A and B are shown apart, each in its own frame.
Chain A
Amino acid sequence: MPRIGVFVCQCGNNIAATVDTKKVAEEMAKIPGVVYTCDYKFMCSSPGQETLKQAIKENNLDGIIVSACSPHMHEKTFRKASEAAGLNPYQCEITNIREQCSWVHHDKTKATGTVKSVDLTRMTIQRLKKNQPLKKIKIPVKKKALVIGGGIAGIQAALDIAEGGREVILVEKEPSIGGNMARLSETFPTMDCSQCILTPKMVEAELNENITLYTYSEVEKVDGYIGNFTVTVRRKSKYVDEERCTGCGECMEKCPFKVESAFELGLSKRKVIYTPFPQAVPNIPVIDAPNCPKIQKDKCGACAIVCGPKCIDFKMEDRLETVEVGAIVVATGYQLMPNERFGEYGYGRIKDVISGLQFERLASSSGPTGGEIRRPSDGKVPESVVFIQCVGSRDEKKGVSYCSKICCMYTAKHTKLYSHKVHGGQSYVFYMDIRSGGKRYEEFVRGAIEHDGAMYLRGRVSRVYEKNGKIIVQGADTLSGSQVEIEADMVVLATAIVSREGADGLAQRLGIGYDKHRFYNEYHPKLKPVETVTAGIYLAGSCMGPMDIPDSVAQGSAAASKVLALFSADEMAREPITALVNKVTCNACWDCLTACPYTAIEREAIKDRKGNIVRWVARVNDGVCQGCGVCVAACRSKSIDLKGYTDEQVFAAINAF
C-alpha cells in the first residue's frame, strides 16, 4: 500500500477565497493510500517547505501531492524539498488548483471551486500511484566548442570561451575572419574606426592557443547531441599550403588576372590569388579556382614561380575533417537584400546608386578610394547625396515586413561621415520613422541633423532617374505635405538586412528552428535569447535577426557563458522526462523518426548471438530528447511512452475523475 501525503495550499487568499482547502484535505484523507493531509497558508514559504519535509520523514511517505499553483511556478521548489527529505523528486506531483480553478471561480459558498479541487487532487493521487521513481540523466560532455561564423559575434564567442580555458574551433567560410564588420568604415555612436577595434580581436583570435581557425571552411554535417557532437567540416582547397606560406604577398603582386572583388562589393578589382583585405586573418592568400587560368586551362602559374617557400599547389583538393565538440555556437550573420528588386531606385541601372555597405567601403580608409567619397561612375566628389532608408524593410509587398533596425543609425552615421569628408556637401535622408533606441543613439541622430546639417525628409522615394548627368530623386516630405524633387550626385540605399543565403540548409543540418525569413529562432525571445530548442547549440548575432555591433558582441559573450557553464562539469544532468521505446512491440514503421522535431530517434539493430541483425527498432537518444511527446502520439503500435507521463499514469488520472 502506498503512503501518500497531500498538502493543500491556501496561497494566502488566492486559493482560499474560493476553495475550502480544509475540506479538500479532509476529502483526500478518505482515499486509500493517503496517510497524511494538511492545508497551509503558503506551502512555498520556508515554514511551508519545512512542514512538507517533516511530514515526509515522520510519516515515511513514498509520494506526495502539493495542490497549489501551476507546476510552472513551484514544481521545482517542492521537488527539491522532497529530495532533501529523502524522497525521489519525481514522486512529488503538483495539482494546479489556482490558475484554472480558484481564480476562475468567484463564490466560495457555491463550493464549485472546492469540488473541482477535490476532483483534480483525487486524479493526481491515482496518477501518482503509477509513478516510477526517475533519475536525472547524466551525459558526458566533451569540453571543446565549435563556433560557426567568424564575424564579430563569432569572434567574441570564441575569445570568451578560449579565455575560459576551453578549446574552440572557429569555422569561417571566407578566406579571412572579420565578417561584415571588417567592411565598415566607422561605427556608431562613438565613431571609432571599425578596423581599429576589430583587427585586434581578429589577431587575438589567431594567436590564442585555445582557438583553432578553420577559414575557407564550411560545416557539412552535424551528428550527435549536447556534449557529444560530431561535426564534419569541409575545408575548401586554398591551393596554398597554410603551414609554409609566410604571407609575403609576392604571388598576389605577380598574378596577372583581375576579377571583381566581392569584399569591396564590386567597387574595385582583386587578383585571382588574393586575401580579401590587407588586414586579413590569417594573412594567407587563396586561389579563386573558377577564375584561375592555371587551374582551369593549365596556363600561367606565375604565382607558383615567384613563391619563395614554394607553397602553391594547384592540385590541392577539398578536405573533409571530422571534429568532436560538446557545444556549438552559430553566428553566421546577415547579408543585404538584392537591391535590383527595387527598380524604382535605379540600382544596377544607374551607376551612382549604391548600397549602404558600398558607401561604407567608399568611406573606409582601406577602401577602393582610400576613404574619399567619390562616386563610382566618374570618381567625382558628390555635392549632394540622397540617402533612402527602408529599402525593402517594412515593405510587406516587395520586401520584408520587419524593420532592419540598424539602418537609421548607419544612415545618420553616413551623413556625418559625408559632411566631415565633403565640406559644403549636402546630404538628404528620406525616412519613414527614425528608430534610434539605444544608449546615446537618439543624440547621435540629432547630432547628424543639428550639427552636421543632414536634411531629413519624412517620406518615401517613388522614383530615381537620370537627367542631364544628374540623378533626379522624386519623393515626398509628409511634414510639409509636399512632393519633393532633388537633383543628386549620388544615391545610397539603406537596404534591408536578410538572413544569409543557405541559412535554412545549415539550420536543417543543425536541427535548429528558423522563422519565415530564415532567421534562427531563439528558445525563448526574452528569457532564453541565445539558446535554441536543440540543447547544446547556441546563437549569437544577426543570424537571429538584424542586430547592431554592441548587441552582437553581447550575444557572443552570452553564448560563450552558456558554453562555459555547460563545460564546467564533466557530466551534465538532464531532466529524465524522455520517451522510452518498448523494443518488443516496436515494428519499425519509423513514424516516430519523421515526427520527432529534435532528431532524437535513432535506428537500433537487434542482433542474435552470432551478430546477425534480426530486426530493427527505434531508440530514443536521451541526450537529445526534450520530452515533447510527439513520437508517443505518432506511434501506431503504442510502443512509446513518455517517462513521467506514461499512458498508465494518464489513464489512472482520467479514471479517477
Chain B
Amino acid sequence: MKITLSNADVQSKGVARVERLSGEDLKKCYQCGNCSAGCPVSYAMEIPPTRVMRMLQLGKLDEVKAANSMWLCVGCLQCYSRCPKGCSVAAVLEAMRQDALREGADRVEVKDLPMPLLKKAPQQAIVCGFRKFVS
C-alpha cells in the first residue's frame, strides 16, 4: 500500500470529528498492539484495532470506513481495559459507526428502516441507531 501524507491528512477534520464523538485522543496511541491482542473478533476484522488507530492517526478515515472492522466490534471493552494509555478503540469504532450512519441523514429512526435492510444490516448498526437518540 502506498499513501501520500499531507498536513491535511494529519490534521484531518474527519478524524477530529471521530475524536470529538468518541472523546478519545487518537494521538495517545503508541501502537503497542494490546487491543488487537485481546480483541475477540480481531481475527475477522479486515483492519485490526491497532491498525485502525494507526490509519486514523494518518488521517485515512475512508480506508477504515471501507473495512468491516467497525461493524464487527461487539463493544466488549477488552481493548479499553488493557490499553496502557487508557484509549478505547471500542469508543472510536462506535464513533465511526455513528459518523457513518449520520452521513445519509442527521438522525436515523430504526423503526422507519425497511425490514429487508434491517435483516441485512449488521447488529451493531442497529444498536448504534438506537444509541443515536441519546448521543
Contacts and interface: CB of A to CB of B under 8 A. Distances in A.
B65 interface: no
Given A450-B27, A450-B28, A455-B57, A481 B1 contact: yes
A484 B5 contact: yes
Interface string B33-75: 0000000000000000001001101101000000000000000
B2 A485 contact: yes
B7 A383 contact: yes
A485 B4 contact: yes
A91 to B, nearest CB: 62
B24 interface: no
A368 interface: no
Contacts of B58: 455, 477, 480
Interface string A444-461: 001001100101011000
B3 A485 contact: yes
Nearest to B7: A426
B57 A484 contact: no
A108 B57 CA distance: 67
B80 to A, nearest CB: 18
Given A455-B5, A483-B3, A449 B31 contact: no
B27 A482 contact: no
Interface in A469-513: 477, 479-487
Contacts of A514: none
Given A455-B10, A455-B57, A480-B55, A428 B5 contact: yes
A540 B25 CA distance: 43
B27 to A, nearest CB: 5
A552 interface: no
B16 to A, nearest CB: 12
Nearest to B26: A450
Contacts of A446: 30
Nearest to B10: A455
A95 interface: no
Nearest to B11: A426
A96 interface: no
Nearest to A451: B27
B6 interface: yes
Contacts of B11: 426, 453
A449 B6 contact: no
Interface in A76-119: none
Contacts of A217: none
A156 interface: no
* Interface size of B as a range: 20 to 34
A501 B96 CA distance: 57
Secondary structure type dominating chain B contacts: mixed
Contacts of B4: 484-487
Contacts of A455: 5, 10, 57-58
A126 interface: no
A623 to B, nearest CB: 55
Contacts of B6: 384, 486-487
A424 B30 CA distance: 23
A426 B27 contact: no
Interface residues of A, number: 23
A353 to B, nearest CB: 18
A626 to B, nearest CB: 49
A483 B4 CA distance: 8
B27 A449 contact: yes
A426 B10 contact: yes
B5 A453 contact: no
A555 B82 CA distance: 41
A428 B59 CA distance: 13
A426 B11 CA distance: 8
A480 B5 CA distance: 13
A453 B1 CA distance: 24
Nearest to A487: B6
A424 B6 CA distance: 12
Interface in A420-439: 424-426, 428
A434 to B, nearest CB: 9
Nearest to B50: A479
Interface string B1-23: 11111110011000000000000
A458 B29 CA distance: 13
Contact of B3 (A383, A428, A449, A484): A484
Interface of B: 1-7, 10-11, 25, 27-28, 30-31, 51, 54-55, 57-58, 60
Interface of A: 383-384, 424-426, 428, 446, 449-450, 453, 455, 457-458, 477, 479-487
Among all A-B residue pairs, the 4 with the closest Cβ atoms: A426-B7, A482-B1, A483-B2, A485-B4
Given A449-B30, A453-B10, A479-B51, 9 more contacts: A384-B6, A424-B7, A450-B28, A481-B1, A483-B2, A485-B2, A486-B6, A487-B4, A487-B6
11 contacts: A425-B7, A455-B57, A458-B31, A477-B54, A477-B58, A480-B51, A482-B3, A485-B2, A486-B4, A487-B4, A487-B6
